Chains A and B, each alone.
Chain A
Amino acid sequence: MKFETANQAAARLGVTVRAVQKWAKEGKLEGAQKIGRDWMIPFGAVATETKVDVVETKATKKVFDVAFPMFQLPYFSGELLEHINKISDPDERDLYLIEYYYFIGELEKSEEIAELYIDSPNLKHRLSAKLFSTFDNMITGHLHKVHFAAGLLKSEIENSDLTDESAIRDNALKVFAGVVLKTQLHTPFETVPQIEDYIKHLPEGLRIIALYLSAYKAYLAKDYSRSLGIAQAAINCATMQYPMPMIYCNIICAIDCINLLQLNKAGEYIKRAWELAIPYKMYMPFVEHYSILQGLLENNFKRSDIDNYNKIIELARKYNTSWYQVYNKKTDGKVTMELTPTEFTIAMLYSRNWRAKEIAAHMHISERTVTNYIQVIYEKLNINGRKELEKYVMN
């Protein structure tokens, strides 16, 4: 029997690769076999039930051509998943689902769909799939897949002519994806250009996220005032709500404020992010930033919203452990695997030169309790000073 790839079958049938993969998975393409990650389709096979759809699709289907759709959603309403499942275009629905499942922490579901689009001929589908697959696998601990998906994304960007003005919008999306990868995962990626040069070519939702990335870069350079200014400007200039970008911007504002010792403002920003995110179970923005939130979640939500807080902690532990294993071989994840969330928070604050009495006031505990925590942290890590602690948590 002669076989063809899912791509070849899709071209022959005039449908998307995703549709072919889905039919193969559902057993509608007789004789289709999965070899590794790819489906092999018997040459000439057609899913009988879908013949009508094929004709219709060929003639009338409008390709869903939006990258990172959740970031571009102007508002959230009602049951998000219900709305997404009602979308009739399978590609559009899947692209939303990849991101939706990621943000609510259902990583396996997100990855299962993202995998189908990694080789998509559509650039926007491909970029979304590669980026979210990297993050999904980071948290599920499939480290070889993290390197695989991140590597594909990097080569996609490195093999493009990013100076080509005629493809400036596509190039802006590639740079956007590259900068997300570089900034959020702290991956070495010197060839990706500055996002600032491409911001104006991005749609509004992504533009706000790009500004958040600029703010995050300033935060990493310890320029907290500049970072706060950028993120505040992004929040104030948006013409619609854009909940996902706003969650990220409010979180970085909160982190900047805490580093500027503006504790009340930090509380206001983190509460705003929480109000936008938690009714829709959008946990991941908090998870991604957990290690630098420095007690803000404990302070504001540990008592009042323990279930959602615990969900974030559970995901944050996985995320940080994998992150350290991938990118920080020196400490080998010890700091996140051995420390409890409270110990981790205190370790972060203490390594940033907060005094025990300042941490005590911030976390509403006694100074003696803070000192006890620090002793336990030191014993767990086999160290005895702030200088060594800094090496563990600040990398």
Chain B
Amino acid sequence: MAKTLNRQFVLYGDIVDVMFVYNESSDKYFGDYPDFDESPRITPCGRRWVNATKDDCPYADKEYGDCGSCQYYRCEHPGDLIGVCDNEKLRKEAI
């Protein structure tokens, strides 16, 4: 049976559980992240959870275009692949 770990991502009082599965060939754990485009999720304060790989946001940094490189991307730890969008314009839309 594959080795797994669970991690809780906590931002703005909201908690997202992600399971990590161990990969022997690269000796690393890889996360089974939710797709927030398919299943949107909003924090209690109205901020959107986003995947760092999302690359079709009209408010994203023009040069790179993805959430992971965007100034509004907030994550619990550097390098996290899911986080919350801090853009007020999107927050208002969400509310």
**Which residues of A line the B interface, CB within 8 A?**
338, 353, 355-356, 368, 371, 374-376, 378-380, 382-388, 390
Q: Which of B8-16, B39-47, B73-81 is the interface stretch?
A: B73-81
Smallest distance from the beta carbon of B62 to chain A beta carbons, Å?
A: 10
Smallest distance from the beta carbon of B4 to chain A beta carbons, Å?
A: 15
| Cross-chain contact A387 with B31 (CB below 8 angstroms) | no
| Cross-chain contact A378 with B68 (CB below 8 angstroms) | yes
| Cross-chain contact A371 with B79 (CB below 8 angstroms) | no
Among A376, A382, A384, chain B packs the most CB atoms within 10 A around the CB of A384
Q: How large, as a class, is the contact surface on chain B? A: 20 to 34
In the bound complex, residues from chain B placing their C-beta under 8 Å from that of A356 are: 53, 55
Contact of B68 among A338, A382, A385 (CB under 8 A): A385
Q: A384-B68, A384-B75, A384-B81 are in contact. List 7 more A-B contacts (CB 8 A).
A: A378-B52, A383-B79, A384-B79, A385-B52, A385-B68, A387-B69, A388-B69
**Which residues of B line the A interface, CB within 8 A?**
26, 28-31, 33, 35, 51-53, 55-56, 61, 63-70, 73, 75, 78-81, 83
| Cross-chain contact B80 with A384 (CB below 8 angstroms) | yes
Docked Cα-Cα span, A376 to B21, in Å, equals 12
In the bound complex, residues from chain A placing their C-beta under 8 Å from that of B65 are: 353, 355, 386
| Cross-chain contact B28 with A380 (CB below 8 angstroms) | yes
A353-B65, A384-B80, A385-B73 given as contacts; is B55 within 8 A of A379 (CB)?
no
* A-B pairs with beta carbons under 8 Å apart, 8 shown: A355-B55, A371-B51, A375-B51, A375-B81, A380-B28, A384-B79, A385-B68, A386-B65
| Cross-chain contact B79 with A374 (CB below 8 angstroms) | no
| Cross-chain contact B53 with A371 (CB below 8 angstroms) | yes
